[in-house]
């Protein structure tokens, strides 16, 4: 037996390892039975020839399950069958299955059932064995290999016609078998690697194709959704801008209309105040003027037109009375015309003399005159001083026209700042009206916070923005 196994190894020494999913083999060999002769109660040793088959299923690269069926014969001319066995064993291959090997040794454990002719008794014995063994598988050519294995089985349960034993049966079976094994679905290492590569390539191609189609469809869907979202956003932005423009336009028109109405009302109020003041002065002068016999009294409007009233500067005005009336020419005597009236005594307001003469050239208005107004809107002393010089220059040159522009800082609302700038411009207008500058020579504009001269982030800057600018209109 040893020579046979060594011969198999020499024949297959130059072959490579192989692997299959399942295999079927024909086996033959020698089985040695050590049992008990029940008739004499003595130990007996018998050597029988065995023949059978083996079917295996690969469970992993290292483990498989082998199902073996054997029958034993007595040597000689009769070949009477002495036993039948069937076993199932789990086999584990010792060497690394991921590499190529010339031989594949293994060990196995399992269970075996046996029916045998009981020695010394006419009946049969039924036994269940625990099985263990070792073996070797030698690849020969593609799907074929040679198998050699030896198993040792020990009876655990024994049943015969006379008794039933559990773990008390005596005996021992040693089976040595060799045979040829055919491997189904055989793949050599190279073919197996090529097949695995082809399968992996095909799977990768299918996966990539599916992913490409899916990604393309997803990209097209994302592009469509992004286009819809972009169009919607553009429409929403345009709508929002249109609404904002319409709203701002409506607010601006309302603010302009209100500011215009308030300005017109303020101008009418100032005109009424100026007319009332002029009427009052006319009445006072008319009441103070004496009536001269024989001379017709001149209209009050002509008397005021002839008066000249210089505007005071920084110092208060000095009032002088012209007590001596001018001589009156004698009118031509007419029967129907009464005697002319004497010229009324007129009070004149004389401005104090300045050290420097008033500059009445265009250079006096070549630069914009800035008047800073207090936060409450009142005219400050230096502001009045500048206004007095402007009044003197304008009275010296009746053709000159000026523009008064009111400004404010950005504290508060836009509408309130526009109103405040208009009030500041009206303060200057009222002052000019008071000292005889007619309305037709003044253009008033209110800008609000739209034209700052300095930053509105500091108190000093905001103070500079609360101003009134006066410039020459050419």
Strand partners, 406: 446, 468
3-class secondary structure for the chain? CHHHHHHHHHHCCCCCCCECCEEEEEEEEEEEEEEEECCCCEEEEEEEEEEEEEEEEECCCCEEEEEEEEEEECCCCCCCEEEEEEEEEEEEECCCCCCCCCCEEEEEEEEEEEEEECCCCCCEEEEEEEEEEEEEEEEEECCEEEEEEEEEEEEEEEECCCCEEECCCCCEEEEEEEEEEEEECCECHHHHHHHHHHHHHHHHHHHHHHHHHHHHHHHHHHHHHHHHHHHHHHHHHHHHHHHHHHHHHHHHHHHHHHHHHHHHHHHHHHHHHHHHHHHHHHHHHHHHCCCCCCCCCCCHHHHHHHCCCCCCCCCCCEEEECCCCCCCCCCCCCCCCCCCCCCCCCEEEECCCCCCCCCCCHHHHCCCEEEECCCCCCCCHHHHHHHHHHHHHHHHCCCCEEEEEEECCCCCCHHHHHHHHHHHHHHHHHHHHHCCCCHHHEEEEEEECCCCCCCCCCHHHHHHHCEEEEEEEC
Cα angle 197, 200, 204 (rounded to 5 degrees) comes to 135
Higher-confidence residue of 414 and 211: namely 414
Mean pLDDT value of segment 349-356: 38
Say whether both 39 and 94 belong to one domain. Answer: yes
Residue 87 has pLDDT above 90, yes or no: yes
Q: Say which range, 97-106, 303-312, 421-430, 431-440, has the weakest mean pLDDT.
A: 303-312
Q: Is 434 left (phi over 0), alpha (psi -120 to 50) or beta?
A: alpha
Distances (CA, A) of 147 to 71, 87, 137, 353: 18, 17, 5, 144
Say whether both 158 and 197 belong to one domain. Answer: no
Q: Say which range, 8-22, 137-151, 183-197, has the weakest mean pLDDT.
A: 8-22
Residue 217 has pLDDT above 80, yes or no: yes
pLDDT (0 to 100) of residue 445: 92
Say whether both 77 and 219 belong to one domain. Answer: no
Give the best-scoring range by mean pLDDT among 40-49, 65-74, 163-172: 65-74
Residue 40 has pLDDT above 80, yes or no: no
pLDDT (0 to 100) of residue 354: 40
pLDDT (0 to 100) of residue 164: 81
Residue 53 has pLDDT above 50, yes or no: yes
Q: Say which range, 288-302, 364-378, 459-473, has the weakest mean pLDDT.
A: 288-302
Q: Say which range, 13-22, 156-165, 349-358, has the weakest mean pLDDT.
A: 349-358
Residue 49 maps to a domain = yes
Name which of 152, 159, 156, 158 is nearest 173 in CA terms: 152
Residue 120: band (very low, low, confident or very high) from pLDDT cuts 50, 70, 90: low
Say whether both 362 and 426 belong to one domain. Answer: yes
With tokens 């979202």, the residue in question is: 229
> Contact at 8 Å (CB) between 131 and 89?
yes
Residue 40 maps to a domain = yes
Residue 5 has pLDDT above 80, yes or no: no
Q: Say which range, 156-165, 358-367, 418-427, has the weakest mean pLDDT.
A: 358-367
Say whether both 215 and 88 belong to one domain. Answer: no
Residue 461 has pLDDT above 60, yes or no: yes
pLDDT (0 to 100) of residue 20: 56
pLDDT digits (tens, 9 = 90+) for 296-345: 444 444 444 443 344 333 333 333 333 334 443 444 333 333 343 333 33
pLDDT (0 to 100) of residue 14: 32
pLDDT digits (tens, 9 = 90+) for 388-409: 999 998 999 988 899 999 999 9
Domain membership of residue 206 as a residue range = 188-234
Q: Give the residue from 186, 217, 243 where a domain finishes.
A: 186
pLDDT (0 to 100) of residue 403: 92
Residue 199: band (very low, low, confident or very high) from pLDDT cuts 50, 70, 90: confident
CA 465 to the chain's CA centroid: 42
Say whether both 131 and 220 belong to one domain. Answer: no
Higher-confidence residue of 290 and 389: namely 389
Average pLDDT, rounded, for the chain: 76
404 burial via Cβ count (<10 Å: 0-12, 13-18, 19+): buried
Strand partners, 441: none
CATH number at residue 37: 2.40.160.20
Residue 268 has pLDDT above 60, yes or no: yes
Mean pLDDT value of segment 161-170: 73
Name which of 180, 40, 195, 182 is nearest 119 in CA terms: 40
pLDDT (0 to 100) of residue 384: 87
Distance CA 47, CA 72 (A): 9
> Contact at 8 Å (CB) between 416 and 424?
no
pLDDT (0 to 100) of residue 184: 82
pLDDT (0 to 100) of residue 422: 92
Q: Give the residue from 154, 169, 186 where a domain finishes.
A: 186
Q: Say which range, 221-225, 236-240, 284-288, has the weakest mean pLDDT.
A: 284-288
- Percent of the chain, pLDDT > 70? 70
- Percent of the chain, pLDDT > 90? 30
pLDDT (0 to 100) of residue 103: 87
Distance CA 376, CA 171 (A): 128
Residue 100 maps to a domain = yes
CATH number at residue 390: 3.30.1330.60
> Contact at 8 Å (CB) between 397 and 358?
no
Residue 245 maps to a domain = no
Say whether both 208 and 133 belong to one domain. Answer: no
Instruction: Encode 350-375: b = buried (16+ Cβ within 10 Å), e = exposed.
Output: ebeeeeeeeeeeeebbeeebbbbbee
pLDDT (0 to 100) of residue 344: 34
pLDDT (0 to 100) of residue 295: 39
Say whether both 94 and 212 belong to one domain. Answer: no
pLDDT (0 to 100) of residue 38: 65
Give the best-scoring range by mean pLDDT among 120-129, 193-202, 280-289, 385-394: 385-394
Higher-confidence residue of 100 and 17: namely 100
pLDDT (0 to 100) of residue 359: 45
Say whether both 24 and 167 belong to one domain. Answer: yes
Tally of structural domains, the chain: 3
């Amino acid at each position: 037996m040893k020579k046979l196994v060594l011969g198999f190894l020499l024949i297959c020494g130059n072959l490579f390892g192989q692997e299959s999913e399942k295999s079927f083999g024909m086996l033959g060999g020698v089985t040695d039975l050590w049992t008990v002769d029940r008739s004499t109660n003595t130990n007996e040793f018998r050597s029988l020839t065995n023949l059978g088959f083996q079917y295996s299923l690969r469970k992993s690269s290292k483990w498989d399950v082998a199902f073996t069926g054997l029958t034993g014969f007595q040597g000689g001319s009769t070949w009477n069958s002495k036993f039948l066995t069937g076993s199932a064993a789990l086999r584990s291959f010792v060497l690394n299955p991921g590499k190529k090997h010339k031989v594949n040794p293994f060990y196995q454990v399992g269970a075996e059932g046996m029916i045998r002719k009981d020695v010394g008794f006419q009946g049969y014995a039924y036994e269940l064995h625990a099985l263990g063994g070792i073996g070797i598988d030698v690849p020969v050519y593609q799907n074929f290999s040679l198998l050699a294995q030896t198993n040792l089985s020990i009876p655990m349960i024994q049943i015969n016609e006379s008794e039933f034993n559990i773990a008390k049966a005596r005996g021992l079976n040693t089976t040595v078998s060799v045979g040829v094994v055919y491997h189904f679905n055989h793949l050599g290492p190279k073919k197996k690697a090529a097949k695995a590569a082809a399968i992996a390539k095909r799977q990768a191609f299918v996966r990539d194709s599916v992913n490409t189609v899916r990604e393309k469809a997803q990209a097209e869907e994302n592009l469509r959704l992004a286009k819809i979202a972009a169009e919607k956003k553009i429409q929403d932005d345009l709508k929002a801008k249109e609404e904002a423009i319409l709203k701002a336009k409506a607010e601006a028109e309302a603010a302009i209309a209100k500011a215009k109405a308030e300005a017109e009302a303020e101008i009418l109020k100032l005109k009424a105040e100026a007319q009332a003041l002029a009427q009052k002065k006319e009445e006072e002068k008319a009441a103070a003027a004496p009536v001269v016999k024989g001379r017709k009294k001149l209209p009050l409007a002509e008397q005021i037109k002839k008066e000249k009233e210089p505007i005071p500067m920084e110092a208060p005005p000095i009032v002088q009375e012209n007590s001596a009336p001018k001589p009156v020419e004698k009118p031509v005597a007419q029967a129907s015309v009464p005697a002319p009236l004497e010229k009324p005594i007129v009070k004149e307001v004389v401005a104090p003399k300045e050290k420097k003469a008033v500059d009445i050239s265009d250079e006096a208005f070549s630069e914009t005159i800035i008047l800073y107004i207090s936060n409450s809107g009142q005219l400050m002393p230096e502001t009045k001083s500048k206004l007095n010089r402007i009044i003197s220059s304008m009275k010296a040159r009746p053709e000159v026209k000026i523009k008064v522009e009111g400004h404010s800082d950005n504290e508060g609302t836009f509408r309130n700042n526009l109103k405040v700038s208009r009030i500041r411009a009206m303060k200057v207008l009222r002052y000019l009206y008071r000292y005889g500058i007619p309305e037709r020579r003044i253009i008033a504009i209110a800008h609000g916070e739209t034209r700052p001269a300095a930053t509105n982030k500091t108190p000093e800057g905001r103070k500079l923005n609360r101003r009134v600018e006066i410039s020459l209109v050419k």
